[in-house]
């Protein structure tokens, strides 16, 4: 799992950035480590080959945490099941190349990709292995080995990132930004910046510009662009004029390197605040809704779209990091770090948005002519262990990882390197991070042998060898085949912890009974035994209409569900259960809220409490099969059904932890259920004269509040309440329910309730 011991927090870093921006840029001098610009010592580059400088720009896609090679680009069908996992390989559109079945869309664009299956750091530690890829070296200033360690950023000794070096040596000609990071910097649990993402010992003046944002949210904004709404253009122009006048008071020959760095960053700050093209790049509303849907209406997909727009605006280098999820700073399997539930995480949470967003991204770049001049690189911290552990997860594995290259100067439709039959070690063409960095610099027209002087001491930007085998001018083969796998409809990435809570999805059997998508009904209503104890997952209630005039749906639990006197025997301890696995479980407080009604004949209603008990349950699975018959209850609320009375609103709540929080409730998955259980002795329904009892579930909701949630972090104007613009995304769907006084704001008490 991601972990750390020391370092400056991201909140502290971002607070500093906001302060200098809100002061109109005047605070910049205090927040920048002044770095002298020295001559660049490089060869003339005349003999660097035909692919030197083929790429005008570069986009890094970093799958933070380390993606599993088996479930992405290097499936191993011949390995034992405990190694290869449950997923099958599928054919791509290039004969002989296979990907995992979880990437069916990317399999259809394999002819535009160069798959690399032999990347290696031999380092199983997040911080140092990721640093190796960020910077292209595993050393710190002075040439000393970093060591295999997790630690926070230390710009005094950290090597500058590849993005920072590109920003210095190939600055943008058309944008105030040369290098940008989206949608957030990569954090180490419990919230420290990973080393190697910034300008390091080159100085803060060469940090890539990090835009903390969620482009999937309507009206999203970043700190720097949000200032446009706080400071008028007239005031900005006045401040810019004042700074220009102050600058003119100094003879240009007296300006030292520190002042030059200050001047450059002040100019960049004003450029982005006042420049139409720079600001326009962030306006995703200019894109067609259909294209935004194809990218996926989620933070990662929309960040890829924003990266494309920034490249179009002239930004030289954009790094798109896989974003964090609410609550995952205190979980043992954040982002792609799948220490437990690798199967569920890859199937439900990780691979679908990556498959959708990245395939659309490559297609979109190609249609616009950008792919021919843009280098695309997909990396992660490292690979994952070939062996699946006892919690269904894969652990850290530095000896081999798969990655992807595409775009300018890349020979596509091919595989470079290979791992062994178990996906554990490279057996052909082992590629080190320094070799990859040298290749990236070469394609961007930067000689990897270039030296940069910092405070009088030169350093060489790369010690690797260019991997010429990846070079090419498009597909290396014209052969094509039909890609395999199943491409379903667009996934609902914003469905929240619970799906189909209104029972409006799934097959309907008119008048009474049916089944609901995502829900498990145990035992499901059987038309051959319509009066037995069971669950009908979806029912069309023709007497009811929703606000739009459509039919309302519900689930029903009980006996005699077919409007005929019940028959059969119900044994002691026998249960009926309507259950659903919680999507993307994270540590935090879960509240299961259900609206119920009930109906029964008079005799059954009077006898109910002697024979049955009903309850809402939050549970955990006890094995990796996710079988609702194998669960342990974590919290429950018992209730009396409101027979022949008005509906009730019921709820049960529990704070759940993973192993980092001192508990293991999340290890094999969690879920919620409505349960009716037989108490006491055996019951013959016909002999007892009990005709029917129906517990009607009208709607179900699960609200999630991350374990590390802090109200003040979202209360940007510090007024003690959250409006719709401040509410975090994981609470958007619950805003109306939580706003009990309907004033359009949420206060801490409403969240606590």
- For residues 365 and 257, which has the higher predicted lDDT (pLDDT)? 365
The arithmetic mean of pLDDT across residues 11-40, rounded, is: 37
| 637-665 pLDDT tens trace | 999 999 978 999 999 999 998 877 677 88
- For residues 735 and 363, which has the higher predicted lDDT (pLDDT)? 363
- Measured distance CA(124)–CA(117) in Å, rounded: 17
- Measured distance CA(259)–CA(289) in Å, rounded: 45
Q: Is 633 exposed, middle or buried (0-12, 13-18, 19+ CB in 10 A)?
A: middle
Least confident span in 76-80, 438-442, 708-712 = 708-712
Is residue 557 scored above 60 in pLDDT? yes
Instruction: Provide the 10 A C-beta neighbour count for residue 289.
Output: 9
Least confident span in 184-188, 196-200, 326-330, 425-429 = 326-330
512 to 237, 674, 695, 696: CA distances (angstroms): 68, 19, 14, 12
Domains of the chain: 10-475 (3.40.720.10), 520-709 (2.60.120.260), 712-753 (no CATH)
The answer to whether 448 touches 462, Cβ cutoff 8 Å, is: yes
**N- to C-terminal Cα separation, the chain:** 32
In sequence order, what are the beta bridge partners of 553? Answer: 540
- Collapse the DSSP code of 301 into the 3-class scheme (helix H, G, I; strand E, B; otherwise coil) and give the result: helix
Least confident span in 18-27, 50-59, 200-209 = 18-27
Residue 117 pLDDT class (50, 70, 90 cuts): very high
Is residue 16 scored above 60 in pLDDT? no
Residue 263's pLDDT is what?
58
Is residue 674 scored above 60 in pLDDT? yes
- Measured distance CA(398)–CA(311) in Å, rounded: 31
User: For residue 388, which of 360, 413, 424, 347 has the smallest C-alpha distance?
Assistant: 424
- For residues 226 and 91, which has the higher predicted lDDT (pLDDT)? 91
Question: Vertex 445, ends 442 and 447: CA angle to 5°?
Answer: 55
Dump strand ranges (E) for 65-195: 89-91, 98-100, 114-119, 139-140, 144-145, 179-182, 187-188, 192-193
Residue corresponding to tokens 């949420």: 746
Residue 268's pLDDT is what?
59
Dump strand ranges (E) for 96-204: 98-100, 114-119, 139-140, 144-145, 179-182, 187-188, 192-193
Q: What is the DSSP string of 687-700?
A: HHT---EEEEEEEE
Least confident span in 132-146, 538-552, 626-640 = 538-552
- For residues 487 and 36, which has the higher predicted lDDT (pLDDT)? 487
| 175-191 pLDDT tens trace | 888 999 999 999 988 88
Residue 721's pLDDT is what?
86
> Cis (ω within 30 of 0) for the bond into 523?
yes
Residue 38 pLDDT class (50, 70, 90 cuts): very low
Residue 249 pLDDT class (50, 70, 90 cuts): low
Residue 495's pLDDT is what?
78
| 135-173 pLDDT tens trace | 999 999 988 999 999 999 998 999 999 999 999 999 998
339 to 1, 144, 191, 388, 394: CA distances (angstroms): 7, 31, 19, 9, 5
Tokens representing residue 631 in the block = 């669960």
- Measured distance CA(626)–CA(328) in Å, rounded: 22
- Measured distance CA(119)–CA(464) in Å, rounded: 13
526 to 69, 259, 515, 561, 580: CA distances (angstroms): 43, 80, 11, 10, 20
- For residues 266 and 492, which has the higher predicted lDDT (pLDDT)? 492
Count CA atoms within 13 Å of residue 85 on its CB side. 31
Residue 238's pLDDT is what?
56
Residue 731 pLDDT class (50, 70, 90 cuts): confident
Residue 23's pLDDT is what?
35
User: For residue 319, which of 133, 105, 174, 189 has the smallest C-alpha distance?
Assistant: 133
Strand 534-545 and strand 411-412: pairing? unpaired
- For residues 549 and 132, which has the higher predicted lDDT (pLDDT)? 132
How is residue 252 annotated by DSSP? G
Is residue 25 scored above 60 in pLDDT? no
Residue 253 pLDDT class (50, 70, 90 cuts): very low
Is residue 389 scored above 90 in pLDDT? yes
- Measured distance CA(521)–CA(535) in Å, rounded: 6
- Measured distance CA(89)–CA(79) in Å, rounded: 12
Is residue 90 scored above 90 in pLDDT? yes
Residue 13's pLDDT is what?
41
The answer to whether 137 touches 161, Cβ cutoff 8 Å, is: no
Percent of the chain with pLDDT over 90: 61
Residue 545's pLDDT is what?
52
User: For residue 709, which of 188, 329, 349 has the smallest C-alpha distance?
Assistant: 329
Residue 538 pLDDT class (50, 70, 90 cuts): confident
The answer to whether 689 touches 183, Cβ cutoff 8 Å, is: no
- Measured distance CA(73)–CA(97) in Å, rounded: 9
Rg (CA), the chain: 29
> pTM score, two decimals?
0.86
- Collapse the DSSP code of 144 into the 3-class scheme (helix H, G, I; strand E, B; otherwise coil) and give the result: strand
Residue 513's pLDDT is what?
64
Q: Output the average pLDDT for the chain.
A: 85
> Which range in 16-30, 324-338, 364-378 is most confidently predicted, on average pLDDT?
364-378
Residue 508's pLDDT is what?
75
- Measured distance CA(43)–CA(55) in Å, rounded: 19
The answer to whether 424 touches 98, Cβ cutoff 8 Å, is: no
Least confident span in 250-259, 475-484, 714-723 = 250-259
Residue 248 pLDDT class (50, 70, 90 cuts): low
Q: Is 602 exposed, middle or buried (0-12, 13-18, 19+ CB in 10 A)?
A: exposed
Dump strand ranges (E) for 573-692: 575-581, 588-600, 612-621, 631-639, 648-656, 670-678, 683-684
Q: What is the DSSP string of 360-384?
A: HHHHHHHHTT-GGGEEEEEEES-EE
Percent of the chain with pLDDT over 70: 83
Strand 414-416 and strand 114-119: pairing? parallel
Q: Is 260 exposed, middle or buried (0-12, 13-18, 19+ CB in 10 A)?
A: middle
In sequence order, what are the beta bridge partners of 320? Answer: 61, 182
Question: Vertex 193, ends 70 and 230: CA angle to 5°?
Answer: 120
- Collapse the DSSP code of 60 into the 3-class scheme (helix H, G, I; strand E, B; otherwise coil) and give the result: strand
Residue 568's pLDDT is what?
86
Backbone angles phi, psi at 491, to 5 degrees: -65, 150
- Measured distance CA(450)–CA(20) in Å, rounded: 33
Residue 548's pLDDT is what?
53
Is residue 239 scored above 80 in pLDDT? no
- Measured distance CA(422)–CA(691) in Å, rounded: 60
Is residue 36 scored above 60 in pLDDT? no
Least confident span in 345-354, 366-375, 597-606, 706-715 = 706-715
């Amino acid at each position: 799992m991601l972990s750390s011991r020391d370092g400056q927090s991201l909140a502290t870093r971002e607070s500093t950035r906001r302060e200098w921006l809100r002061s109109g840029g005047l605070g910049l001098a205090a927040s920048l480590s002044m770095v002298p610009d020295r001559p660049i010592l490089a060869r003339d580059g005349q003999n660097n080959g035909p692919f030197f400088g083929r790429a005008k720009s570069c986009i890094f896609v970093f799958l933070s945490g380390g993606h599993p090679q088996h479930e992405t680009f290097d499936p191993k069908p011949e390995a034992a099941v405990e190694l290869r996992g449950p997923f099958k390989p599928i054919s791509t559109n290039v004969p002989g190349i296979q990907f995992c079945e979880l990437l069916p869309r990317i399999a259809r664009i394999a002819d535009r990709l160069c798959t690399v299956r032999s990347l290696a750091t031999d380092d199983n530690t997040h911080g140092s292995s990721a640093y190796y890829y960020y910077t292209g070296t595993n050393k710190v200033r002075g040439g000393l080995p970093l060591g295999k360690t997790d630690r926070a950023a230390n710009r005094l000794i950290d090597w500058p990132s590849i993005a920072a070096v590109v920003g210095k040596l190939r600055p943008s000609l058309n944008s105030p930004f040369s290098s940008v990071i989206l949608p957030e910097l990569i954090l180490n649990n419990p919230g420290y910046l990973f080393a190697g993402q910034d300008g390091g010992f080159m100085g803060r003046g060469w940090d890539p510009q990090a835009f903390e944002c969620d482009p999937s949210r309507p009206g999203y904004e970043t700190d720097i662009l949000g200032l446009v709404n706080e400071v008028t253009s007239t005031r900005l122009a006045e401040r810019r004029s004042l700074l220009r006048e102050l600058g003119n008071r100094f003879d240009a020959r007296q300006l030292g390197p520190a002042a030059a760095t200050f001047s450059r960053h002040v100019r960049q700050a004003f450029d982005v605040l006042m420049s139409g093209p720079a600001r326009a790049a962030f306006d995703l509303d200019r894109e067609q809704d259909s294209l935004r849907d194809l990218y996926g209406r989620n933070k990662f997909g929309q960040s890829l779209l924003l990266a494309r727009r920034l490249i179009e605006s002239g930004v030289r280098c954009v790094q798109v990091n896989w974003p964090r999820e609410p609550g995952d700073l205190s979980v043992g399997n954040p982002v792609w770090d799948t220490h437990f539930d690798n199967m569920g995480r890859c199937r439900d949470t990780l691979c679908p948005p990556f498959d959708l967003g990245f395939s659309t991204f490559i297609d979109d770049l190609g249609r616009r002519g950008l792919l021919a001049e843009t280098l695309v690189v997909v990396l992660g911290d490292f690979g994952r262990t070939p062996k699946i552990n006892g919690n269904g997860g894969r652990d850290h594995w530095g000896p081999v990882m798969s990655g992807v290259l595409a775009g300018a100067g890349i020979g596509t439709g091919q595989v470079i390197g290979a791992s062994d039959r178990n996906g554990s070690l490279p057996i052909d063409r082992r590629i080190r991070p320094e070799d990859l960095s040298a290749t990236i610099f070469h394609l961007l027209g930067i000689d990897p042998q270039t030296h940069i002087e910092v405070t009088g001491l030169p350093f060489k930007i790369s010690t690797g060898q260019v991997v010429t085998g990846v070079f090419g001018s498009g597909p290396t083969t014209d052969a094509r085949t039909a890609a395999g796998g199943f491409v379903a409809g667009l996934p609902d990435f914003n469905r929240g912890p619970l799906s189909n809570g209104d029972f409006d999805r799934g097959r309907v059997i008119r008048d009474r009974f049916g089944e609901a998508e995502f829900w498990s009904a145990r035992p499901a209503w059987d038309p051959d035994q319509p009066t037995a104890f069971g669950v009908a997952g979806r029912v069309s209630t023709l007497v009811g209409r929703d606000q739009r005039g459509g039919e309302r749906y519900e689930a029903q639990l009980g006996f005699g569900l077919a409007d005929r006197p019940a028959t059969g025997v119900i044994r002691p301890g026998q249960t009926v259960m309507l259950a659903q696995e919680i999507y993307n479980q994270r540590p935090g407080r879960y509240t299961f809220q259900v609206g119920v009604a009930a109906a029964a004949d008079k005799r059954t209603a009077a006898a109910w409490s002697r024979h049955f008990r009903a309850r809402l349950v939050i549970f955990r699975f006890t094995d990796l099969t996710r079988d609702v018959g194998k669960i342990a209850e974590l919290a429950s609320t018992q209730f009396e059904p409101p027979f022949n009375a008005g509906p009730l609103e019921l709820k049960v709540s529990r704070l759940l932890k993973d192993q980092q929080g001192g508990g293991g409730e999340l290890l094999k998955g969690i879920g919620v259920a409505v349960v009716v259980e037989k108490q006491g002795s055996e019951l013959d329904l016909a002999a007892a004269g009990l005709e029917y009892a129906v517990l009607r579930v009208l709607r179900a909701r699960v609200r999630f509040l991350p374990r590390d949630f802090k109200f003040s972090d979202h209360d940007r104007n510090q007024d003690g309440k959250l409006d719709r613009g401040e509410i975090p995304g994981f609470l958007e769907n619950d805003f109306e329910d939580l706003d009990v006084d309907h004033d359009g704001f949420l206060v801490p008490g409403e969240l606590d309730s």
